[in-house]
Structure formats: C-alpha cells, structure tokens
Amino acid sequence: MCVLLSFTSDICCRFLSLTSTQARKPYFYFENVRTMPNGSWDIISNSLYGIQPEFVCASHFSVSRRARGYIHNLPLENRQLILPIPPKTIREFLPATVQYTPAWDTRQQLNCINTCGNTASFCRNVQRLMAAGEPSEEAKKTIMSLVRRWNLVWTGPGTCSPLEAHEIEQALGYERGHTRGAITINERFKSLGNTFQVDVVGFHLSALRPLFPDGIRMLSLFSGIGGAEVALHRAGIKLKFVVSVESNVDNRRILERWWSTSGQTGQHRILDDVQDLTMAVVARLMEESGGFDLVIGGSPCNNLTGNNRSSRTGLGGEHSVLFFEFSRILNLVRSLTR
C-alpha cells in the first residue's frame, strides 16, 4: 500500500489546483501508452484543457508491468483499491509454475502483457537450450531475454509456454472467460492487448462512488471489451445509463454478453463509430440519458506505442489520429451540459 500512496502523493498538488475550466463537469478520463513519440503527450494535454498526465505502472496493482498515462479531472479523495486485490507476483499468480522455474529465473512479475500469438518458435528455442542439462551462462542470458520479452512461463522441466487467454484476462483484471465471445483466438488476444488494466482504472474511478450513490451515466468511447464498464462495476458504482462506442464486432459481442450476464440493471446502448457522434447525435443521447456524468476512453495506440517499428507515426497516424475524436466529443458534451 505504501507504493500506491507514494505515487499518489506526487500528483496531488497538480490535481488539487485544477482551474474552473479543467474541473468543469462532466468528469472525463483518457488513457494511452506512456511512451509516445516526442511531443505527443503535450498535444494531448493541450487538447484536454492543459491537464498533465498521471503516469502509473500496473505493477503496483497486478502481476504485470504496464506503464500508461491518464489525463482526467477526477477527484483524488476516497480512491480505493478494488476487490479482490489481485496477486502481484508470478509465484502467487501461477503457483503451478514454481516447481519448474529454474533458480536463475528470478522474475517476480511479468513484463507488459504482450498478446502476440506466434510464440511457438521462442518456446522451442528455450527448450533446445535447456535440453542438454544446465545451460551455460550465455544460454541463460538468451533464455531470460526470451522469457522476459514474451512473458513465457515454465510449464514443465525445461519447458515454457506463453500465457493462456484466461490468464491474460485475469492479469488485466477481468473474470476468466471474459473474452470467450471472440470468433478466433487471435482476435481474443488482440482484444486483450488493446484494453484497460481494470485494477488501475477501477482505483482511479473509485473516487466517484460517493458522488453517484444512485448510479452513473457514462459515455464510453473506444469501449473495446468494456474495460471502463467492468472497472466501474468492480468499484461498486452502479451503471445507470451507458453508451458504449466500439467499432470491432467481436468486442461489441463480448461487451453485450458481459452486460447481460453480470447482473446489470441500467440502460445500455452500443454504437459502432465515434465519428458518427455528431452534435445532433450527442444531443439526442444526452436528452435520453439526462446528461453524462463521465466521458471515458482510450483511443487506438497503434501509431504511438514503442512496440510498433513500422508505422509509429504519432498522433497523425491512421489509427491514433482518432484521439481527436475523443477531444471533439468531450467538447460537445461539455457544451451541452447544463
């Protein structure tokens, strides 16, 4: 808990001094990768009323490291960890791997969750290097480079495997089987790679619980598999009226299934394209809902992430340019909020 308090205290002074423009309702919350091309976070900050990002690594909350930036005008008081508190070490998270883990694999946590499904060749390389008995120091370095990079875990003597989909779900704060509605395993992995880390987001959003005892009305942009919806639910905040906007049909199917099986009693609308949210559409949705209390989203990071070596073109990229739709829609909601 002391780690959480330490990084929280570092940002208190920034958020306690929000200007009236920055603090103006509705609440909003934007997430994306921490490491972007130079100047990208400055552009995002300037587009979101000059609020500076709060950078958080998921290692404080879960078994995996995942550094993200969050720009928001949420209150800082009354933040709480959402329950149950997840395991934070590989030993706790995957106890069955302990008996097979070499003493020289000293990892305590997983790397940032990587959802690449083509790891069979890396597993074979590790098995080959382990086949002749105790590997050389040079071979150990090669093995550790592979298992760290691809989050390989030990599943037998000298044998390692990638994380299963249900293990990634749990590492990201979802219930086992959350993404089972995806058509293919590759789509399932892709959906998980583009989602929120629920434990982090739930910690931030938990500050809203005392403010909305009767439930919250939310506009969720780039909803994916429902990270914002699940985080609010797990934080104990009733979903009173939610509009989820998501272009991927598999993700919409997953979100619809979760809504129907998780005991939700509020109203839910699903739209498929943020670019269709014109002034008229937003006004109609706000009239239907009674106004939005929260606008939330994490636009595509394809052209921003350091893992992308071919088209890391920044906010002008084909996918990541959609951030400006978040800013546009938030401004529309603010202009229509009484």
Catalytic site positions? 301
Please calculate the CA angle 283-285-287 and round it to the nearest 5 degrees.
70
Kindly give, in sequence order, each residue whose CB lies less than 8 Å from that of residue 15, ignoring residues fewer than 6 positions away.
Answer: 54, 73, 74, 76
Q: How far apart are CA 194 and CA 114, in angstroms?
A: 10
Q: Is the dihedral of CA 142, 148, 151, 155 positive or negative?
A: positive
Tokens of 153: 């875990």
In DSSP terms, 70 is beta-bridged to 31, 54
State yes or no: cis peptide before 75, omega within 30 of 0: no
